[in-house]
Amino acid sequence: MKQLEEYIRSIPDFPEEGIIFRDVTSVLQDANGLHMAIDQMQEKIADLDFDVIVGPESRGFIFGVPIAYNLNKPFVPVRKKGKLPCETIEKEYALEYGNAVIEMHKDSIQPGQKVLIVDDLIATGGTIEAITQMVESLGGQVSGIVFLMELSGLEGRKRLEGYRVESVIVYEGK
């Protein structure tokens, strides 16, 4: 049986020279790879107490929804600005080139709820840092954060100090 790392395609010099792009689509395209990814992410948080799962579009949806389904938990989507139909809260955060704004429904997290954040990849940590701030502004408590992959050279964990952060696969470098 293949190891999960074998399902991830590494593409050198994309999007620029010197970068190795870790392509998650090769995991999604293989039933065994997808199954293994979901199972291993769930194993990382098996001892965690939480009420709701939050995930950013789009790959946070891909991994967060099956975990929510398996554990009989609700799922809260975090979307780009302007994509949610009800009253929202928003957070602006820095990207490598410019800024982005994400939103979640104002009624999606109740005060005191324990939240697990799920995404495919942690790089610089900016998106997830913004999500933790939104969750906490609604009165939620971040119980943990789980990723399929981590690019440790970009030091995203530093932005998430004080939170339990789990990654199934850790790549050195960027």
- Catalytic entry in 17, 96, 161, 172: 96
- Catalytic entry in 59, 103, 129, 150: 59
Phi, psi of 57, deg, nearest 5: -70, 150
CA distances from residue 9 to 29, 30, 46, 102 in whole angstroms, order as listed: 11, 12, 27, 28
Alpha carbons 60 and 52: distance in angstroms, whole number? 14
The predicted pLDDT at position 1 comes to 74
Instruction: Decide if pLDDT at 102 tops 90.
Output: yes
The predicted pLDDT at position 20 comes to 87
Alpha carbons 125 and 118: distance in angstroms, whole number? 12
Instruction: Decide if pLDDT at 97 tops 80.
Output: no
Q: How many beta carbons lie within 10 A of that of residue 58, not counting itself?
A: 11
The predicted pLDDT at position 63 comes to 98
Alpha carbons 119 and 52: distance in angstroms, whole number? 14
What is the average per-residue pLDDT within 71-76? 98
**What are the tens digits of pLDDT across the range 50-60?**
999 999 999 99
Q: Is 6 a catalytic residue?
A: no
The whole-model pTM stands at 0.96
User: What confidence tier does 146 reach under pLDDT thresholds 50, 70, 90?
Assistant: very high
Instruction: Decide if pLDDT at 96 tops 80.
Output: no
What is the average per-residue pLDDT within 61-73? 98
Q: Is 79 a catalytic residue?
A: no
Whole-number percent of the chain with pLDDT over 70: 99
Instruction: Decide if pLDDT at 42 tops 80.
Output: yes
Instruction: Decide if pLDDT at 132 tops 80.
Output: yes
Instruction: Decide if pLDDT at 174 tops 80.
Output: no
Alpha carbons 47 and 49: distance in angstroms, whole number? 7
Alpha carbons 83 and 147: distance in angstroms, whole number? 24
